Amino acid sequence: MYDTTLDGEKRKVVGHFGRNGFYYTLDRTNGKFIKAEKYVNDLNWTKGLNPVTGLPVEYDPKLDVQIYNPEARALRGDGKKRACPTWHGGVAHQPLAYHPVKKIAYGVGTEGCFTQTGAAVVPKSKDGDVDLKASQPRPYSSDLYYGAITAFDTVDHKVMAKAVTEIENRSGATVTAGGIVFTALQDGWVVAYHDETLEELWRFNVGTPLKGAPVTYAIGPKQYLAVQTSGRHLHPVKFDKLENSSYVFVFALN
């Protein structure tokens, strides 16, 4: 939640990195849609959003179930369909960060695309129970899968920088007044970026997967950075053999 000036008007807004790949700005006093812009690299489930309503341009109020782009949605009995962003996100549960002076929002998550088959389902009863043995499995595969941290200009409403990571990002972001954005990766790296360009400034490997979001705090005049390890949700597959352990690592900021 933040106050900003959009199109020359002061607004009280809430910003949201949607899992569907769009960054939304809504009026937090009444919930009305203001703007939205794509923040992921790959998106094909819709051609875009209506600039007035914020709904997908393919939205049909006469339909109970929306289809949007049929080529990206695997319904029951369909063949393989490729959808972007991947079913993990964009930004999903990961904590976000906001720079109140520079008006920049930061989101970390997983980007890319996945392919799935619309499995045929055999009902077992009229109540909607499914016969799991008779039904088909619903296989999926990720043909493009990576982590990303995005710096979004909330005034001009556009992506101003993006840093890509080989492994998905299940952590979070925090930004400091000193111009640094911190995040943590599941292959053990704590990483610091420039808050405007997302140029990498520093990294340190703690030797175990990181899913906790970095936090910063001060004791007297000394500032610290802390991050919690543990938790496994590793992709791509080549990272699956990483072992996790439970620690809290604390760094002193000079």
Cβ-based neighbour number of residue 130 at 10 Å: 12
Domain edges within the chain: 2-205
Instruction: Supply the pTM of this predicted model.
Output: 0.89
Confidence of residue 233 (pLDDT cuts 50, 70, 90): low
Work out the percent of the chain whose per-residue pLDDT is above 90: 63
Query: Average pLDDT over the chain, rounded to whole?
Result: 89
Task: Provide the phi-psi class of 89: left if phi over 0, else alpha when psi is between -120 and 50, else beta.
Answer: left
Q: Which residues pair with 35 in a beta bridge?
A: 25
pLDDT score recorded for residue 116: 81
Question: Which of residues 127 and 47 earns the better pLDDT score?
Answer: 47
In angstroms, how far is the first alpha carbon of the chain from the final one?
30
The mean per-residue pLDDT over the stretch 169-174 comes to: 93
Q: Residue 168 above 90 pLDDT? A: no
pLDDT tens digits, 185-202: 988 999 999 999 999 999
Contact between 142 and 238 (Cβ < 8 Å): no
Closest CA to 16 of 138, 150, 164: 150
pLDDT tens digits, 115-130: 887 777 777 777 777 7
pLDDT score recorded for residue 216: 96
Closest CA to 70 of 82, 60, 62, 61: 82
pLDDT score recorded for residue 62: 96
Which are the contacts of 102, defined by CB distance < 8 A and separation ≥ 6?
Answer: 195, 196
What is the DSSP track for the chain? -EEEEETTEEEEEEEEE-TTSEEEEEETTT--EEEEEE-SS---S-S-B-TTT-SBTT--TT-SS--S-GGG---TT--EEEESS-TT-SS-SPPPEEETTTTEEEEEEEEEEEEEE-----BSSTT--B-TTTSPP--EEEEEEEEEEEEEETTTTEEEEEEEESS---S--EE-TTSEEEEE-TTSEEEEEETTT--EEEEEE-SS-B-SPPEEEEETTEEEEEEEB------SGGGTT------EEEEEE-
Q: Residue 179 above 70 pLDDT? A: yes
The mean per-residue pLDDT over the stretch 1-17 comes to: 92
Contact between 110 and 145 (Cβ < 8 Å): yes
pLDDT tens digits, 68-108: 999 988 776 677 889 999 888 899 999 999 999 999 999 99
Confidence of residue 241 (pLDDT cuts 50, 70, 90): confident
| Residues 102-124: b if buried by 16+ CB within 10 A, e if exposed | ebbbbbbbbbbbbbbbbeeeeee
CA-to-CA distance for 148 and 68, rounded, in angstroms? 26
Determine the CATH number of domain 2-205.
2.40.128.630
Closest CA to 21 of 60, 72, 66: 72
Q: Residue 171 above 80 pLDDT? A: yes
Q: Residue 232 above 80 pLDDT? A: no
Q: Residue 254 above 90 pLDDT? A: no
Confidence of residue 31 (pLDDT cuts 50, 70, 90): very high
Confidence of residue 140 (pLDDT cuts 50, 70, 90): low
